[in-house]
């Protein structure tokens, strides 16, 4: 299964979430790959020097699709982190994906600016003549507020793309754990951040299994 995290907007949590999902999946003993298709190489640099059981990290250039196809049969899960602003790489990554996650922050500006990403996703599906499950993921939600209903309604007004039930809150653990090259699960498996990443993993795996 190839999962791409994408959004043309920078800073919405693509790299942080990709690393946590890939490390979390590897911790569940699945053979996992992470392809870092962003030239900034945030994932490669963050995980460099850390020996990860069940996880291989690849840097890719614009030929992310070729690399993903080449290694596809060697892994149970492949997570692709994509750059902001590069339509070209985003298209290629989406085209080889079985699942697309669009992280976004719970603000009208971020939600509105996801339009370009959604349009690209629709074009990819049309061209490939197949439906790729594509979901929004709310990230950096303030744990002290409950905007969920309002945000959900706002998203539904603009898009047909559904919102994952799981959401990630704004937590220092996301930055802190990665400073040690660890996912929030490895860092403290009973923390709130670990629990929400496990919930997200379960939801993604469940949706994918149902769609098969």
Ligand X SMILES: Nc1ncnc2c1ncn2[C@@H]1O[C@H](COP(=O)(O)OP(=O)(O)O)[C@@H](O)[C@H]1O
| Residue ranges binding ligand X (CB under 6 A) | 10-16, 42, 84, 139-140, 168, 170-171, 174-175
Residue 139 interacts, among ligand X, Mg ion, none and using kind-specific CB cut-offs from 5 to 8 Å, with ligand X
Give 88 or 127: the residue with its C-beta nearer to Mg ion: 88
By the 8 A CB rule, do 124 and 94 touch?
Answer: yes
Give 143 or 211: the residue with its C-beta nearer to ligand X: 143
- Total residues binding Mg ion (CB under 5 A): 3
Report, in Å, the least distance between residue 154 CB and ligand X: 20
The sheet that has 55-59: what strands, in order across it?
A: 55-59, 32-36, 77-81, 2-5, 99-105, 134-139
Is 8 near Mg ion (CB under 5 A)?
Answer: no
Is 15 near Mg ion (CB under 5 A)?
Answer: yes
Give 13 or 24: the residue with its C-beta nearer to Mg ion: 13
Give 12 or 210: the residue with its C-beta nearer to Mg ion: 12
């Amino acid at each position: 299964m190839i999962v791409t995290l994408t959004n043309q907007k920078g800073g919405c949590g693509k790299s942080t979430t990709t690393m946590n999902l890939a490390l979390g999946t590897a911790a569940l003993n699945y053979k996992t790959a992470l392809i870092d298709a962003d030239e900034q190489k945030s994932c490669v640099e963050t995980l460099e020097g850390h020996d990860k059981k069940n996880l291989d990290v690849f840097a890719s250039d614009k030929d992310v699709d070729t690399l993903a196809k080449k290694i596809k049969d060697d892994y149970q899960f492949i997570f692709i982190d994509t750059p902001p602003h590069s339509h070209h790489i985003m298209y290629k990554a989406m085209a080889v994906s079985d699942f697309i996650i669009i992280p976004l922050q719970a603000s009208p500006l971020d939600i509105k600016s996801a339009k370009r990403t959604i349009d690209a996703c629709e074009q990819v599906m049309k061209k490939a003549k197949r439906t790729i499950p594509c979901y929004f993921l709310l990230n950096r939600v303030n744990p002290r507020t409950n905007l969920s209903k309002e945000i959900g309604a706002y998203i539904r007004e603009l898009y047909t793309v559904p919102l994952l039930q799981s959401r990630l809150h704004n937590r220092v653990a996301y930055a802190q754990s990665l400073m040690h090259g660890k996912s929030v699960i490895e860092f403290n498996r009973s923390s709130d951040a670990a629990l929400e990443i496990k919930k997200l993993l379960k939801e993604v795996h469940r949706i994918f299994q149902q769609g098969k």
